[in-house]
Structure 1
Amino acid sequence: MDLMIFWAVLLGIISRPTFGKELGNLPHIIMIIGDDMGSNDVSYRGSNQVTTPNIDALGYNGVILDKHYTQAICTPSRAALLTGKYPIRTGMQGLPLNSGEDRHLPEGIQTLPQLLKDLGYSTHMVGKWHLGAARRNDTPTGKGFDTHFGYWSGYVGYFDYMIQTQVESINQVYTGFDLKEKFRDAWSEQGKYATDLFTEKALEVIENQDKNTPMFLAVTHLAVHTGKDNLVEVKDEKVMNDSFGYIQDLTRRKYVDALLQLDQSVGLIVEKLQEQNMLENSVVIFMSDNGAQLVGDYRNGGSNYPLRGSKSSLHDGGIRNAAVLYSPLLKQKGYVYEEILHITDWLPTLYSLAGGDLSSLKGMDGFDQWQSISENKPSKRDEILANINEITGYSGIIGYKGRYKIINGSISSKHDIFGPELEDNIDYDIPAILNSPVNKAIRQLNASQNYLNTESIQNLRKISSKLNDDNKCKNSKNRKNPEICTSFCLFDLMEDPCETENLIEDETKQVIISGLKARLAEFWKQLVPQTNKPVDVNSNPAKYNGTWCTWLDDELCVKTPIKSVS
C-alpha cells in the first residue's frame, strides 16, 4: 500500500468517533417528553406524595440535570428543541399554536431529525407535534422525521383525540379529530388511552428498527396536559381512587394517576431497548417541555413547588424543569449535574455525539454539552435567554453562569404565583425504584458500573431535593404575597432560587443589572417578529370528514362526502 494512503486511512480510522462496543457504531437517541409536567412531580426531587420509580431510576443510574431550562410554553419550547435556536430566531416566541393556524417552522431551517437523518439515522416521532400543520411540509415528516404517529395540535382528548378551536373572526368553534399515522386518519385507534397508545407505537418502532441503522426516536406524550373538558383524563376512575384516594384534590389525583402512566411508559421503552440489545448503545433523555399549569383553563394539578411561577411564566416554575439522562456512554454516572443547561443545547449536543460536524450548524444558540454532562465539567453556557415577547413586552434573561435573572414585566399576576406545598402522604418507595423496569434493564447490561442500592438512592435524592429546603427561599413570607414584576426585577437564583426577593434597587447590584439589561437589549435587536396568525376559516374539519387536515394542501385531504338528495 502506498505510504501516504496508509497514513490517510489510519488517521481516518483514529479520528472516527467511537461509541458502544464497535468502532463507528453511532448511538441510538431516545427522547421522552412529558407535557406541562411540574418540576416537583418527579419523586427524586423530594416529593413524598407519589413515587416515580422509572424516571427516578433513569436519573439515579445516569445524570439528574438539576438546572435544565426550557421555554415557558409548548410551541416555543418544541421549536427551541428541534432547531437549537431561541424562538426569537424563528418567530415562534409567542402564544402556543392553534389548530387551524397557518404558522410553522421557517422553510429551510435545520432541524435535529433532519440533521441526524443526513448522518444515516432513521428518525421517528410518536405523539405531539404542535409546530404547524397547514401543509404537509409543515408536519413532522416535512421537517425531518421518517415517520410520525400522533397529533399535530397542542392537545387532544385522551380517548377520543378530538380538539376544539375558537375561530374569533366568525365567532365559531371548530371541532375535529386529530390522530394521524403520517397522513392517514387513525380512527381505528379511537378509544385507546393516549399514554398506552403512544407507548405501544414507540415499542413498535424500537422492535422494527434495523439493528445496523442508528435510531432517533422522539416520544412526545400528551400526559400530563389536560385533555377533554380541560381535565387530565385517567384510564380507570375506580383504580385511580383506590390507588390515590389519599390525595384530597381531585384534579391533583387525576394528574398523579396520569403521571404514573407516563412513568410506566418510560419503563416499558427502556425495557424494550434492552430486549432489542439497543440499550447498551443508547442515549435516553426524559424531560418536560415546560412547567405545570397551576391556574386557568388548563390547570392540570401539577406542582412546581417550591419554585415560583406557572407554565407561561418566566419565573423558574415555568422554565426550570425536570430532566434526566441515562447512557452507558457517560463517563460519570450516578450524580446530580448542577450547572445550567438549556433546551437548545440538545441539538448540537446530540448532533456532535452522532458524529456531526458542529461547524456546519448555522446560528446555533445551543452548545455541545456532552463533555460537560458526561464528565461533570462546567457548562459551556454563561447565559440563557428566557424569552422576549415583543407583543406584550414581557422578557427575561439569566446570566452570570445562571446566578442572576432579570425579568421585565409579567405575563400575568396569576401565573407568577407560588403553588402550594404538597402533603407528604407516603414514604419514598425505594424498593419500587430498585425493582423498576428501568433499573432492571440497566442491571442487565454488561457494562461495569456501581448499581443502585438503598444508600446511593438516598444520597442522590438528598442532593436532588435540597431545593425543597425552606431555608433556600430567601424571604419565605413573600411566598404568600409576592411582588409582581410590573417593570424590571432582579433575582439572585443562587441565594434565592424561589425568587422571593426583588433586588432591582440594590445599589451593590447595579453593574449586574446594567450588564443583563444590555444583553437583553442586544437580543431585542436580533428578534424576528412572531408569526402568530388568526385561525383560518378554511381549516374547518367539517370540510374534511371531521378531521384536522393540511387544509392548504386541500387536494390531498379526504373530503366530507356530499349526501345525495333523494
Structure 2
Amino acid sequence: MCRFFTIWMCTSLLHLILCIVCAFGLYETAPPHIIVFMADDLGWNDVGFHGSNQIPTPNIDALGYNGIILNRHYVLPSSTPSRIAFFTGLYPIRLGMRMQGEGIRGGEPRGLPLNIKILPEYLRGLGYTTKLIGKWHMGYHTPQYTPLHRGFDTFLGFYNSHISYYDYRYSNKNMSGYDMHRGDDPAHGFNREYATDLFTDEAIRIIENHEVPRPLYLQLSHLAVHGPLEQPIDEYNDRETIQIREPNRRKYAKMVSKLDKSVGAIVHALGEKGMLRDSLILFLTDNGAPSIGRCGNYGSNYPLRGTKYTLHEGGVRGVAALWSSRLQKAARVSNELVHITDWLPTLYSAAGGDLKDLGEIDGIDQWRVLSEGYGRGREKLLLNINEVSKTEGAIYSRFKLLRGENGFYDGYYGDSGRTLETPPYTEVVLNSTVSQSITYHLGGPVTQPSTMLQLRRDGTVQCDTNLTYSDKRLLTSCNVTECLFDIVNDPCETKNVAEVYVRIAKDLDRYLEYYGHILERQMITRVDWFADPRMRNDTWEPWINSGAVIYVSNAADMLGNLIYYIHISIIFVSILLNNYI
C-alpha cells in the first residue's frame, strides 16, 4: 500500500511539473523548419490583405490571415542593402563597400565583407541544413563571396540583381551572359522553364528529399516580380487578370499570381512531407515596387508615397507576413515596428539559439512580441543614410524624419486596385492551397470569413479622403527642408509636421547624427571588364582568384583597389605578351 502511494505521488508530482513547464513555455521543443519567401520588388498594394481586389493572392493572404500580417515592416530601399540587413542583422551603413547605396552591378568587384557571419552560418551551428534558391546579389567577384562559401549547403539561382525569366541572362553595359548556377557551377541544360516555376520545383524537390528529423532552413529568394516583364504562359492565369486594362500592369499581375501559386505549392509540399506543423514561414519583399523608371515593373504601392529607391513609405514599408503553428496569438494585424535586421535574431531565437552568439547587432529579437502579442518591441529604427544621394531617414514611434529626395520617384504612383469586381473574396482564400493544407494537415479550422474581412480592413492603409491621388503630387519636397511625418495618422506622408513637433524632430536629428558618425563612407567601384562573360563561356562567374583581393572595410578599400588593379594589369600584360609571342 505504501509502495503504491509513493508511486502515485511521484507520478502526480511529475505530471504537475510537466504542466508547469509547458504552461510557462519552458519545455524545449525541436527547432522549427524555417521557410523564407523573399519576393523581389513587390508593391504594397499587390497583395489582397492590404485591400486590393486587382491581383488574386489567396495563398499569401491565407498565410497572413492565419498568422500575422506585419503592417509596419520596414526594409531598405533597394535589393542589396535589404538582403545585407536581413542576413547580418546590421544596418548596411556599418559595412563599407557601398552597402547602403546602389545594388551591386554585374562585374563590380565588391560584396558583403567576408568577416561578417550571416544567418545560415549561425543556423548551421544549431544543426540546420541550409538551402538557397533564387537571387543572391551580395557579391561574387571571388568564389569566397558566393552562397556555398557563406553558409549554404546547396544553391540554385543567380548572382546578379535579376535575369530574364526564360533564358536566365543578365546584361550590364556592353556585357551580357548566362547567370544560373547550381552550387559553384553554371547550371546549363534547363529547357526554358519559367524562372518562378523552376525555383518552385527545386524547393519541392528539397522538401520531398529532406530528412525530417533535421531542421531545414530553406530560403526561396524569387526573381519575381522584378523586371523584365515576362509573363508565364498559363491560360488559367490569363482569366484571373483579364479585367486589368493596362497591358503592362496585366503582365505584372500574372507574374504576381504565379508567385502566389509558388507559395501554395511549397506549403502543400511541407504538409505532404509531414513538416508543416513544425514549420515557421516568413513571406516578405526586399523593397517596394519600382512603379516607374529604372527597372519599372508597373507594381503599385498605393496609397503610399514613393517607389523603390526612396525612403518614403512606398519604398521601405514592405509587404510581410509570418505564419507558424507555434505562434501563440495568431490571426491578427501587428502594428509593432519591425525592421528587416530583426529577422536574424528573431529566427535564431525561434530556432533555440542563444542571442549572445550574435554579438552586437542592430536587429532585435521580436519572437516573443510577435508570437505572444505583447511585450516590448522596438521604438526606433534607422531607415538608411546614403551620403552619396544625400538621403537619410529614421523612425521613432509614429514619427518619421526624412532629409533629401529622389526626384520623380518620390511621387504617388500605382493603381488603387479598389474598383474591380471579383469573386467572393473570402471564398477564394478559403479554397486556396495554403488554407486547404492548414485544414488537412493540422486538423484545425482556418480563420473564418468574418475575421478575414476585419483583418483586411485593419491591414488597409487609409489616407485623407479630401485629397485626390493626383493632388498629392504637389507636396513640398524634403530637399529644401527636412520633413517630419506622422506616419500613423498620415501614412501617405502628405503633411510636414516638423514645426509642430519640434522636440521629436530634434531627437531624430540627434539619432541620425549618431549613426552618421558610425557610417562607413562609400567609395566608388567601377565595373571590371575582366568580368565579361565572354571570357568565361558566356557565363557570369567569379573572375578573381580566391585571396587575390579581400575587402573587409572601407579602411582597406584604397589599398585593396590598388592591389586589385596591379593584379589585373599583370594579367592583361601577360595576355598581350602571349599573343605577341
Provide the rounded CA distance (Å) in 1 between the counterparts of 2:297 and 2:497: 32
Q: CA deviation at 1:457?
A: 1.6
Aligned AA (1:519)? Y
- 2:405 corresponds, among 410, 428, 447, to 410
Contact 2:309 2:315 in 1 (8 A): yes
Q: What amino acid is aligned across from residue 222 of structure 2 in structure 1?
A: H
Q: Where in structure 2 are the equivalents of 1:77-96 lying within 5 Å?
A: 77-91=82-96, 92-96=99-103
Matched AA of 2:505: I
Deviation string, structure 1 residues 217-268 (Cα, Å, up to 9, x no partner): 10000000002xxxx1012286655442321111110010000000000000
Report the counterpart of residue 299 of structure 2 in structure 1: 302
Residues 463, 490 of structure 2: 8 Å contact kept? no
User: Displacement of 1:391 after TM fit?
Assistant: 1.4
In 2, are the aligned partners of 1:491 and 1:503 still within 8 Å (CA)? yes
**1:133 is paired with a residue of what secondary structure?**
coil
How far apart are the structure 1 equivalents of 2:195 and 2:24?
A: 34
Question: One-letter code of the match for 1:479?
Answer: K
| Cα 1:425–1:397 shift into 2, 3 Å | same
| Counterpart for residue 218 of structure 1 | 219
1:542 maps to which of 516, 527, 534: 534
Equivalent residue in structure 2 for 1:373, among 370, 374, 379: 370
Equivalent-residue separation in structure 2 for 1:312 and 1:446 (angstroms)? 41
- Distance in 1 separating the partners of 2:432 and 2:74: 27
Q: What is the Cα deviation at residue 338 of structure 1? A: 1.1
- Aligned CA distance change for structure 1 residues 219 and 394 (closer, same or farther; 3 Å): same
Q: Is the 2:45–2:417 contact (alpha carbons within 8 Å) kept by the matching residues of 1? A: no
- Name the residue aligned to 1:441: 437
Q: Which amino acid aligns with 1:412?
A: G
1:180 and 1:310 map into 2 onto residues whose CA distance is 30
Aligned residue for 2:562? Answer: none
Residue in 1 that maps onto 2:510: 518
Q: How does 1:42-53 map to 2 (within 5 A)?
A: 42-53=47-58
- Per-residue deviation, 1:532: 5.1
**1:170 counterpart residue number:** none
Which among 277, 280, 284 is matched to residue 283 of structure 1? 280
Structure-2 change in CA distance of 1:239 and 1:207 (3 Å): closer
Match status 1:462 vs 2:454: no
2:298–2:414 CA contact under 8 A, matched in 1: no
Does structure 1 residue 143 correspond to structure 2 residue 143?
Answer: no
Equivalent in the alignment of 2:169? 162
Q: How big is the shift at 1:393? A: 1.7
Larger radius of gyration: 2
1:453 matched to 2:459? The reply is no
What does 1:269-418 correspond to in 2, within 5 Å? 269-399=266-396, 401=397, 403-418=398-413
The secondary structure found in structure 2 opposite 1:417 is coil
- Kept in 1, the 8 Å contact 2:299–2:414? The answer is no
* Distance (whole Å) between structure 1 residues aligned to residue 220 and residue 238 of structure 2: 28
Are the aligned partners of 1:473 and 1:499 in contact in 2 as well (CA < 8 Å)?
no
- 1:474 shift after superposition: 8.0
Cα pair distance change 1:472/1:279, threshold 3 Å: farther
Instruction: Give deviations 1:192-239, integer Å, cap 9, x for gaps.
Output: 100000000111111111112101010000000002xxxx10122866
**Structure 1: distance between partners of 2:466 and 2:101:** 31
Partner of 1:7: none
The Cα of 1:120 is off from its aligned counterpart by: 0.8
Alignment match, 2:66: 61
Task: Give the direction of change, closer, same or farther, for the CA distance of 1:261–1:22 in structure 2 (3 Å limit).
Answer: farther
Q: Partners in 2 of 1:509 and 1:237 — Cα distance?
A: 53
- What letter corresponds to residue 534 of structure 1 in structure 2? R
**Cα distance in 1 for residues equivalent to 2:237 and 2:376:** 41
1:499 aligns with 2:511: no
5+ unaligned residues in a row in structure 1: which ranges? Answer: 1-12, 167-172, 557-566
Task: Give 1:109 shift.
Answer: 0.7
Give the aligned residue type for 1:406: L
Deviates more, 1:523-532 or 1:234-243: 234-243
Alignment check: 8 A CA contact 2:196 2:222 kept: yes
Question: For 1:252-263, what aligned pairs fall within 5 Å after superposition?
Answer: 252-263=249-260
The farther-off stretch of 408-417 and 488-497 is 408-417
CA distance in 2: counterparts of 1:473 and 1:187, whole angstroms:
56
Task: Provide the residue aligned with 1:176 in structure 2.
Answer: 177
Structure 2 counterpart of 1:107: 114
How big is the shift at 1:14? 12
CA distance in 2: counterparts of 1:266 and 1:237, whole angstroms: 17
Amino acid at match of 2:416: E
SS of the aligned residue for 1:414 comes to helix
- The amino acid that maps onto 2:165 is Y
- Across the aligned residues of Structure 1 and Structure 2, the Cα RMSD in angstroms comes to 2.5
1:476/1:150 CA distance change after superposition, 3 Å: closer
> Could you say which residue in structure 1 is the equivalent of 2:206?
205
- Are residues 352 and 191 of structure 1, via their aligned partners in 2, closer, same or farther at CA, if it must alter by over 3 Å? same
Contact 1:20 1:281 in 2 (8 A): no
Distance 1:124 1:473, change over 3 A: farther
CA apart distance, 1:356? 1.2
Corresponding residue SS for 1:553: coil
Residues 217 and 532 (structure 1 numbering): CA distance in 2 closer, same or farther, change over 3 Å? farther
Q: 2:39 aligns with which of 30, 34, 39?
A: 34
* TM-fit CA distance, 1:453: 2.4
Distance 1:241 1:25, change over 3 A: closer
Q: Which amino acid aligns with 2:313?
A: D
Cα distance, 1:22 vs structure 2? 8.9
Mapped contact 2:368–2:375 kept (Cα < 8 A)? no
